Amino acid sequence: MATLLVVDDEVKLLSLLREYLENAGFSVRTAGTGQAALAEFNHAPVDLVVLDWMLPDMEGIQVAQAIRKTGSTPIIMLTARAEEADRVVGLELGADDYVVKPFSPRELLARIKAVLRRSGEGAPAEAQYNLGPFTLDEGARELFKGGTNIELTATEFNLLTHLLKHPKRVFTRLELLHVLEGHTYAAFERTIDTHIKNLRKKIELDPQNPCYLLTVHGVGYKLVVPTFAP
């Protein structure tokens, strides 16, 4: 049974989501402020955090940043901000997905299940891929550079794993959204750009001039495995 931490200052909404998600088979813990959310998160492990952007004591995005410093627990942001720029900011700061208010509990449940599938799916521990100085262990869901663990979000890990399985193949943004079980309409295709940008920051020596994650202009992206390590 997966454990969720749901954070929102709307008491009625929090109660509704708790009941709905518990009926769906999850263990649910709740918090109404950012500080309470961090206390709950640090008290015991959770498998996913549902986090409201606007909280009374601090912005949810600050909570997300604090959680990201401790690992790659999946985060779904709840936000009334529908603008693409706001969604991109959330993704850049570590969110794996977002749900725009108002939303139905059924929609949130579908998003939770999709993100948990992405973060929980794996291959045998011996399934490893090399990329220059990096080694990706699919079974352990870890990326190493030498002996250093490179922290990736669940979405970043799945995106990189898929590209490593198909080196040199060009993928459109829409195809990569299908891989990540995300939305498949054009307005959301640019979220892939954000995930690629975040990955480049973590694995490229010069993210502005990448040697691994390459842009194929007018089409999408491909990953190449050079014979040299940058």
Per domain, the residue ranges of the chain are 3-120, 128-223
Of residues 96 and 190, more confidence is placed in: 96
Q: Is the pLDDT of residue 42 over 80?
A: yes
SS3 157: helix
Q: What is the pTM of this model?
A: 0.58
Architecture label for domain 3-120: 3-Layer(aba) Sandwich (3.40)
Among 26-30, 113-117, 198-202, where is mean pLDDT lowest?
Answer: 113-117
Among 35-39, 84-88, 92-96, where is mean pLDDT lowest?
Answer: 84-88
Question: Domain 128-223's class?
Answer: mainly alpha
Q: Is the pLDDT of residue 207 over 60?
A: yes
Output 110-115 pairs: Cβ under 8 A, ≥24 positions apart: 111/76, 112/4, 112/21, 112/26, 112/48, 112/50, 112/76, 114/181, 114/182, 115/48, 115/74, 115/76, 115/154, 115/155
| Residue 185 pLDDT | 44
| Residue 8 pLDDT | 96
Question: How many angstroms separate the Cα of 122 from the Cα of each of 96, 119, 174?
Answer: 17, 8, 23
Question: How many angstroms separate the Cα of 112 from the Cα of each of 49, 106, 168, 213?
Answer: 9, 10, 32, 28
Q: Considering only the C-alpha atoms of the chain, give the largest distance between any 2 of them, rounded to a whole number of Å.
A: 57
